[in-house]
């Protein structure tokens, strides 16, 4: 069993904001996997599929970013899935715009959604796919920046990054080899900086 969670804020108001990179990447992964978000459970929209006999649940928490942990904890409990088998996909202001970083474990950094997930779940052992947005921030306050629409000049880089994240997710779901996916996609990120 694998649980894949994209972080963001629900509603049209937030659809194309920096904070919704996780939503966008997981939606793109759902398209690549030919599945749809057709269920609402545990305060999230979910899509379920089976690959090689293994159940995969893709989820988009609808709690708003800073309370994402409520949904994640409920999903982990319902499906009895460990943090090690859960991937969180989210925006990261500490990475340059367009940069993709995969890692296992670690702190929530400056990301309030990840901090809340770690606090509510009582562990930081989640796999992560972080989508860089920091290059566009300038002098803006963090809270104002993450809720603004992606700048026109960065839209293509953001879309390319979301596509790479979706491809990495799809490969992980099919192969279960996160270490290999990390080596491949973190190296690709280095080449584009």
Catalytically annotated residues: 19
Distance CA 95, CA 111 (A): 12
Q: Are 136 and 17 in contact (CB under 8 A)?
A: no
Query: What sign for the dihedral angle of Cα 34, 104, 114, 139?
Result: negative
**Angle at which helices 178-192 and 155-175 pack, to 10 degrees?**
160
Determine whether 11 is exposed, middle or buried from the number of CB atoms within 10 Å of its CB (0-12, 13-18, 19+).
exposed
Determine whether 90 is exposed, middle or buried from the number of CB atoms within 10 Å of its CB (0-12, 13-18, 19+).
buried
């Amino acid at each position: 069993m694998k649980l894949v969670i994209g972080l963001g804020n629900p509603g049209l108001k937030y659809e194309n904001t920096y904070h919704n990179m996780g939503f966008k990447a997981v939606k793109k992964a759902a398209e690549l996997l030919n599945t749809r978000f057709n269920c609402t459970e545990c305060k999230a929209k979910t899509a379920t599929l089976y690959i090689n006999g293994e159940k995969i649940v893709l989820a988009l928490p609808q709690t708003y970013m800073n309370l994402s942990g409520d949904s994640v904890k409920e999903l982990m409990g319902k499906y009895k899935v460990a943090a090690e088998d859960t991937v969180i996909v989210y925006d990261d202001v500490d990475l340059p715009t367009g940069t993709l970083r995969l890692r296992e474990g670690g702190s929530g950094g400056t990301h309030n959604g990840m901090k809340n997930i770690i606090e509510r779940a009582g562990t930081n052992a989640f796999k992560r796919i972080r989508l860089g947005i920091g290059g566009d921030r300038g002098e803006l306050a963090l809270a104002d920046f993450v809720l603004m629409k992606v700048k026109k000049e960065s839209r293509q880089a953001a879309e390319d990054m979301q596509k790479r994240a979706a491809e990495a997710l799809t490969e992980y779901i099919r192969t279960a080899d996160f270490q290999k996916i990390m080596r491949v996609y973190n190296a690709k990120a280095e080449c584009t900086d």
